[in-house]
Amino acid sequence: MILPGSSFLAVAVVALQAPVELVGADTAWMLMSTALVLLMTPALGFFYGGLVRSKNILNTLMMSVASLGVTGVVWALIGYSLAFSAGNAMIGGLDYAFLRGVGLEGGDWGAYPHLLFMAFQGTFAIITAALISGAVVERMRFGPYLTFIALWTIVVYAPIAHWVWGGGWIGALGALDFAGGTVVHVNAGVAAVVAAVLVGSRKDYGRQALLPHNVTYALLGAGLLWFGWFGFNGGSALAANEIAALAFVNTMLAPAATLVAWMLLDSLRSKKATAVGAATAIVVGLVAITPAAGFVSPLSALAVGAIAAFPSYYIILLRSRSRLDDSLDVFAAHGMGGLVGALLTGVFAQAVWGGTDGLLFGAPQAVLTQAIAILGAGIYSGIATFVLLKLISLVTPLRKAAREEGIGMDVVLHGEEGYARGEGAVLVLADGFFSDSGPNPTVPVGRIDTAKEAV
Amino acid sequence: MKLIVAVVRPEKLGDVLEALFRAEIRGLTVSGVQGHGGEMEQVETYRGVTVKMELHDKVRLEIGVSETFVQNTVEAILSSARTGEVGDGKVFVLPVEKVYRIRSGEQDEEAVTPQDPSLAQMLAQLEGVR
């Protein structure tokens, strides 16, 4: 499976190849990995949801959960084909549109069914779109958000995935991206900054303290993200083999090092290791090891994790003092973490550990290749995200009015509260609800104690 | 002395606190309450069950002030808590018989902040100039 001089995941599909025989272990691991990565999106919802104010918890969760639906459908219909069917250096073709020809046979993707590869890649597209939401929480309207992530998956994610993994120009360059440091994290991080600028700051940003309402959710989400990331990185070996084990272990070690470094930085700065900091550190470490997971030694993974803590830590400090309301620091965690991880992949990669040799092992040009890949993906993501959001904003406003922002997105956009007490809730019955067939037609429409009892 | 009790929208609390601090009013108690002031109903749906939220989350502030500060306090709240729509809340001004500061045992005017009315007048003038 390892194609020298190209990305590990490069699976440009060549037609008419002899089908690869299915291997049970590979199939089992990819089934499990796909489920693990899918779990990361609701986990991200909890990570983000804990960091917003309680009046916006449902909307923040829904921005992630809705991606499971919208991006999942878009991916199956068209996204997968644009990313992974045979095309040119810039974009795939329409051979697999509507999943035509995506069957149960093994192939260049590995010794497991093609359809499973489609689903595994779909979980990546889903979480990448959801990542962006962290920059626009607490004010963006839901409809334009859904429109945006649907279009973004087609126009931004699918081409960049094709460039790196589907036989496009970045893979051909020999850039290394094991599980998506560039495709997922640099891409989402840059898109997040553009989205934060175009949607605009929350009305109270920089004026009032906007505090996390439930830090326990943030830690719960970070923990579940870590768990799911074993599938994200381990599964990106596309087989149940030694590379999967390496990526898996590196996924355990790198965030551990980031966590230690982050707690030290926190302690040096304010004499206290913070829980929000720990949750952030876990995510930064996971992001940083993503491009390197199957290419570097375990000790290098520790180094990658520790080094990655520094830029993200200080960018978060700077960002929160700036006018840029990238509300949940998507750029610092994912953009910066992905950038540092992708560059360090070019430093620490080793042929004996499954990569191609990097800077430390006699191939300094690897760092340059990585930088070109980061720049290419980042610039395209920034421009295309800008154009998409501009177009949507010409049709409909991207955000809610200040008054509704004050009330909170949960009530305004979803007609629900995350922590409804139900006191004072009056049941509304549709006309005829209790008509002839009702158990007690004489009961008038009236007040009951709580909404919960009504259910 | 007066006890000023204000019931305001929770989303306006930040603005109200800012206005009170600008007016140099420092001692206050805040609690989350629910109430109904005739505002438009808020309709929510849970698993197909539609409910009207008759009671709305509000925030109640209690502020003990000396006579010279009553007007400033009320004006700060009125100007900062208003959206112009039904449900903005109310301000009540109540007479107070006796106040003790627990830490020092100070009583009445001594026990409510701020203690220096001249400072307040000065600030009010400054505010006017601005």
Residue-wise pLDDT for A150-161, tens only, equals 999 999 999 999
- A31 and A121 fall within a common domain: yes
d(CA B3, CA A172): 75
Asked, for residue A412, whether it belongs to a domain, the answer is no
At A305, the amino acid letter reads G
CB contact under 8 A, B49 and A454: yes
Asked, for residue A10, whether it belongs to a domain, the answer is no
The edge-to-edge listing of strands for the beta sheet with B49-53 is A425-428, B49-53, B42-46
Q: Which domain holds residue A185?
A: 24-407
- A318 and A212 fall within a common domain: yes
Q: Is B83 on the interface with A (CB under 8 A)?
A: yes
How many structural domains compose chain A? Answer: 2
Residue-averaged pLDDT of chain A: 91
Give the model's pLDDT for residue B120: 57
pLDDT for A12 beyond 60: no
- A357 and A433 fall within a common domain: no
d(CA A244, CA A246): 5
Asked, for residue A417, whether it belongs to a domain, the answer is no
CB contact under 8 A, A415 and B45: yes
pLDDT for A372 beyond 90: yes
- Could you please report the per-residue DSSP string of B36-85? --SPPPEEEEETTEEEEE-SEEEEEEEEEE-HHHHHHHHHHHHHHH--SS
- A188 and A240 fall within a common domain: yes
Question: Residue B111's pLDDT band (boundaries 50, 70, 90)?
Answer: confident
- A248 and A153 fall within a common domain: yes
Give the model's pLDDT for residue B5: 97
- A155 and A244 fall within a common domain: yes
Asked, for residue A11, whether it belongs to a domain, the answer is no
- Could you please report the per-residue DSSP string of A226-293? HHHHHHHHHGGGSSSSHHHHHHHHHHHHHHHHHHHHHHHHHHHHHSS--HHHHHHHHHHHHHHHTTTT
Asked, for residue A48, whether it belongs to a domain, the answer is yes
- A364 and A398 fall within a common domain: yes
Closest-CA distance, B127 to chain A, in angstroms, reads 20
Mutation target to probe the A interface, by most A beta carbons within 10 A, among B12, B22, B51 is: B51
Q: Of A121, A118, A114, which Cα lies nearest the Cα of A20?
A: A114
d(CA A322, CA A169): 36
Tell me which chain B residues have a C-beta less than 8 angstroms from the C-beta of A408. 11
pLDDT digits (tens, 9 = 90+) for A416-449: 999 987 777 888 776 544 334 444 444 444 444 4
Give the model's pLDDT for residue B124: 59
pLDDT digits (tens, 9 = 90+) for B88-109: 999 999 999 999 999 999 898 8
pLDDT digits (tens, 9 = 90+) for A320-351: 999 999 999 999 999 999 999 999 999 999 99
Average pLDDT (A13-31) is 81
Question: Residue A39's pLDDT band (boundaries 50, 70, 90)?
Answer: very high
CA A242 to chain centre: 26
**Of A99-108, A202-211, A300-309, A423-432, the least confident:** A423-432
Q: Of A20, A249, A225, A252, which Cα lies nearest the Cα of A117?
A: A20
Give the model's pLDDT for residue B81: 95
pLDDT digits (tens, 9 = 90+) for A286-297: 999 999 999 999
Question: Residue A413's pLDDT band (boundaries 50, 70, 90)?
Answer: very high
pLDDT for A16 beyond 90: no
Query: Which of the two residues, A13 and A209, has the higher pLDDT score?
Result: A209
Kindly report the CATH number assigned to the domain that includes residue A51. 1.10.3430.10
Q: Is B84 on the interface with A (CB under 8 A)?
A: no
Tell me which chain A residues have a C-beta less than 8 angstroms from the C-beta of B83. 403
**Of A51-60, A130-139, B41-50, the least confident:** B41-50
- A354 and A453 fall within a common domain: no
Asked, for residue A18, whether it belongs to a domain, the answer is no
- A433 and A389 fall within a common domain: no
CA A95 to chain centre: 26
Q: What percent of chain A has pLDDT over 70?
A: 90
Q: Is A446 on the interface with B (CB under 8 A)?
A: no
Give the model's pLDDT for residue B85: 87
Domains defined for chain B, CATH in brackets: 2-129 (3.30.70.120)
- A337 and A427 fall within a common domain: no
Tell me which chain A residues have a C-beta less than 8 angstroms from the C-beta of B12. 406
Asked, for residue A13, whether it belongs to a domain, the answer is no
Question: Residue B118's pLDDT band (boundaries 50, 70, 90)?
Answer: low
Mutation target to probe the A interface, by most A beta carbons within 10 A, among B13, B40, B46 is: B46
- A328 and A195 fall within a common domain: yes
In this structure, what are the phi and psi dihedrals at residue A305, rounded to the nearest 5 degrees? Answer: -60, -45
CB contact under 8 A, A417 and B44: yes
Give the model's pLDDT for residue B116: 58
Residues 36-65 (B) with a CB less than 8 A from some CB of A: 36, 42-47, 49-56
Give the model's pLDDT for residue B88: 92
Asked, for residue A5, whether it belongs to a domain, the answer is no
Give the model's pLDDT for residue A443: 40
Closest-CA distance, A143 to chain B, in angstroms, reads 19
Q: Of B39, B1, B6, B33, which Cα lies nearest the Cα of B20?
A: B6
- A396 and A430 fall within a common domain: no
pLDDT for B121 beyond 70: no
Residue-averaged pLDDT of chain B: 85
Q: Of A158, A106, A121, which Cα lies nearest the Cα of A34?
A: A121
pLDDT digits (tens, 9 = 90+) for A68-79: 999 999 999 999
Give the model's pLDDT for residue A1: 39
pLDDT for A8 beyond 80: no
